[in-house]
């Protein structure tokens, strides 16, 4: 059975609304609450933004059961070590499972890169270099979070339960990287090459346990396990479905549906 998660956008919501929505998500039985990772609201057609790990730290203190995560953290928004430490810190503060979803970031010429350009952040035009950055995050996380870690990492934050490492993918190459090094992938459910991405990741992962997660825009019909898409997800052994609420959560709060 696919676990249903929820994702809220800080681009169109103030803290009070996000707090109310997250408490409601826990009460309604969602598996996890995910947040977007952007520096500014423009990328999500919003007027504001909250930094993702600061937001997740706050959300961890007004909830007690619901799992937390990023979907996805741009690997160019922070230095690699800062990203790994931030995820471990939230996991330690919350005392529950954290899901670190990461993405390779956009090319400098992309409209998605406008927020990084505005603050003078380093960006990489080479797709191979962006994928190498994903590998670097996955490698450092594995080295820092293991109980047999090297002495140089002795005082870095290390959660009792290491965060789940998920890679948001939009290519077969990145899917194979996820299968080789990560705990799972996240794929847009309606992407025309979705099945090829999942197959590439599954092949690279081999026999080890590997999570297949997908996301879709929130619609109350998708809360019904008998919905055709949900039945198809079960048939494809999808582990988690992240339902993304892109506008203010007010309408979502008015829905009485539970996963």
Matching residue, tokens 């960006």: 123
Task: Name the phi and psi angles at 151, rounded to 5.
Answer: -60, -35
Q: How many domains does the chain have?
A: 1
187: in domain: yes
**What is the DSSP-derived secondary structure letter of residue 47?**
S
259: in domain: no
Residues 6+ apart with CB under 8 A from 230: 2, 222, 224, 241
- Given a contact cutoff of 8 angstroms between Cβ atoms, the answer to whether 67 and 40 are in contact is no
214: in domain: yes
CATH number at 224 reads 3.20.20.30
Summarize the chain as % helix, strand, coil (round to 5): 45, 20, 40
d(CA 13, CA 92): 26
Residues 6+ apart with CB under 8 A from 136: 75, 80
User: 141-191: per-residue pLDDT in tens?
Assistant: 999 999 999 999 999 999 999 999 999 999 999 999 999 999 999 999 999
Q: Which domain, by its residues, includes 46?
A: 3-254
Per-residue pLDDT for the chain (259 aa), expressed as one digit of tens each?
899 999 999 999 999 999 999 999 999 999 999 999 999 999 999 999 999 999 999 999 999 999 999 999 999 999 999 999 999 999 999 999 999 999 999 999 998 999 999 999 889 999 999 999 999 999 999 999 999 999 999 999 999 999 999 999 999 999 999 999 999 999 999 999 999 999 999 999 999 999 999 999 999 999 999 999 999 999 999 999 999 999 888 889 998 789 9
236: in domain: yes
């Amino acid at each position: 059975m696919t676990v249903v998660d929820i994702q809220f956008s800080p681009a169109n919501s103030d803290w009070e609304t996000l707090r109310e929505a997250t408490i409601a998500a826990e009460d309604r039985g969602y598996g996890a609450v995910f947040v977007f990772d952007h520096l500014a609201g423009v990328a999500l057609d919003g007027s504001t933004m909250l930094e993702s790990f600061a937001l997740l730290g706050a959300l961890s203190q007004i909830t007690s059961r619901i799992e937390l995560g990023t979907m996805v953290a741009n690997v160019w928004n922070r230095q690699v070590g800062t990203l790994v430490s931030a995820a471990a810190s939230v996991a330690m503060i919350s005392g529950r499972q954290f899901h670190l979803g990461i993405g390779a970031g956009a090319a400098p010429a992309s409209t998605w890169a406008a927020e990084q350009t505005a603050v003078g952040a380093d960006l990489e035009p080479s797709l191979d270099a962006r994928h190498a950055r994903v590998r670097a995050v996955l490698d450092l996380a594995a080295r820092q979070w293991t109980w047999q870690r090297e002495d140089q990492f002795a005082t870095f934050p290390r959660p009792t339960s290491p965060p789940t490492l998920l890679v948001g993918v939009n290519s077969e190459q990145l899917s194979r990287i996820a299968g080789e090094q990560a705990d799972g992938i996240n794929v847009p459910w309606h992407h025309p090459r979705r099945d090829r991405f999942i197959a590439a990741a599954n092949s690279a992962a081999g026999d080890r346990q590997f999570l297949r997660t997908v996301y879709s825009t929130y619609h109350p019909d998708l809360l019904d396990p008998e919905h055709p898409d949900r039945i198809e997800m079960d048939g494809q052994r999808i582990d988690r479905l992240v339902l993304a609420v892109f506008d203010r959560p007010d309408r979502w709060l008015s829905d009485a549906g539970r996963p």
